[in-house]
Amino acid sequence: MRRALPQGIDSTRRTRRVGRGGTTANGARQTRARHNMVGRFGSNVVKVLVIEDEKKIASFVRKGLEAEGFVVEVSHHGDEGYMLATSRPYDVAVFDIMLPGRDGLSILRNLRDRKIPLPVILLTARGELNERLEGLNLGADDYLTKPFYIEELVARIHAVTRRAAGTPQGILSVGDLSMNLLTREVKRGEAAIELTPREFTLLEHLMRSPGRVLTRAQICERVWEYDFDPGTNLVEVYIQRLRKKVDAEAPVKLIETVRGVGYRLKPRP
């Protein structure tokens, strides 16, 4: 008899998702050699501080990051997490906004007031735009909304560690396409692009993982926040709108269709 999959596992993707009904684990572990490479920045192992009061989520995040070769330290309380962030060396901190003791925004504010340049990724609830904007304005390097995939968190960690040395905070760029998450300005070269809020969110998700294919189901889940309906052409309609605004006047087309799979942004045009 076929064994039932644990709750939350997508039988087709086997990805690890955090924040909704627990977290899922990859069906097949990758090799240790690859894990050791993923969690490195240059020749150094990346040290991550995770501040999350939900112990189940914190445990899965720790296991997921450690499986990818990161060194992880976890705190479940805002006061303790702040003490760790200010007294020990980390390459990046990942923490929830809602915490016992000091909340995430308070920790971030104090870190920046003390001129501590620790890269910070905030974990936020869906739909909390004001919290995300406040976090970015306080100096957060990035944010991730729950629920999320471990693979996405890994990509964000690498992105913020790569740009920690001098790249402006809150800026995404792929080729000559740039997005300012604070002002919500988008440019292709020097030309400004006007986007609706939904178009902006869709383009943001594509720009956060250049070269990586996002399926229609993933896009629906992240941009429209509901499960994918195979009968809808909503994703195709919005991709076409983005193409007209982002690629129509440019000699190099950035938005690609991967037939039968989904869509991606070319990483290096």
pLDDT digits (tens, 9 = 90+) for 221-232: 778 766 657 677
- Pick the last residue of a domain from 167, 187, 217: 167
- Is the CB of residue 165 less than 8 Å from the CB of residue 143? no
11 part of a folded domain:
no
136 & 200 share domain: no
More confident residue, 17 or 86: 86
**Domain closes at, from 167, 182, 213:** 167
Mean pLDDT of 122-136: 80
Q: How many domains does the chain have?
A: 2
Range of the domain at 259: 172-265
Chain-wide mean pLDDT for the chain? 80
Mean pLDDT of 65-86: 94
35 and 140 together in one domain: yes
- Give the mean model confidence (pLDDT) for residues 49-55: 95
The enclosing domain of 230 has a CATH number of 1.10.10.10
Is pLDDT at 184 greater than 60 in this prediction? Answer: yes
Calculate mean pLDDT across residues 21-42: 42
Count Cβ atoms within 10 A of the Cβ of residue 265 and give its class: 0-12 exposed, 13-18 middle, 19 or more buried: buried
Task: Give the per-residue pLDDT at 216.
Answer: 87
Check whether residue 178 and residue 158 sit in a common domain. no
Helix 104-113 vs helix 129-138: angle between axes, to the nearest 10 degrees?
20
Q: Is residue 158 part of a domain?
A: yes
The region of weakest confidence among 40-49, 89-98, 250-259 is 40-49
Q: Are residues 159 and 185 in the same domain?
A: no
Show which of 139, 167, 195 is a domain's final residue.
Answer: 167
Residues 101 and 215 in one domain: no
- 223 within some domain: yes
Which is more confident, 63 or 43?
63
| Whether the predicted pLDDT of 21 surpasses 50 | no
pLDDT band at 249 (very low <50, low <70, confident <90, very high): confident
Whether the pTM exceeds 0.75: the reply is: no
Are 38 and 142 in the same domain? yes
Which ranges constitute the DSSP H helices of the chain?
A: 32-38, 55-67, 78-87, 104-113, 129-138, 150-162, 197-208, 216-219, 234-242
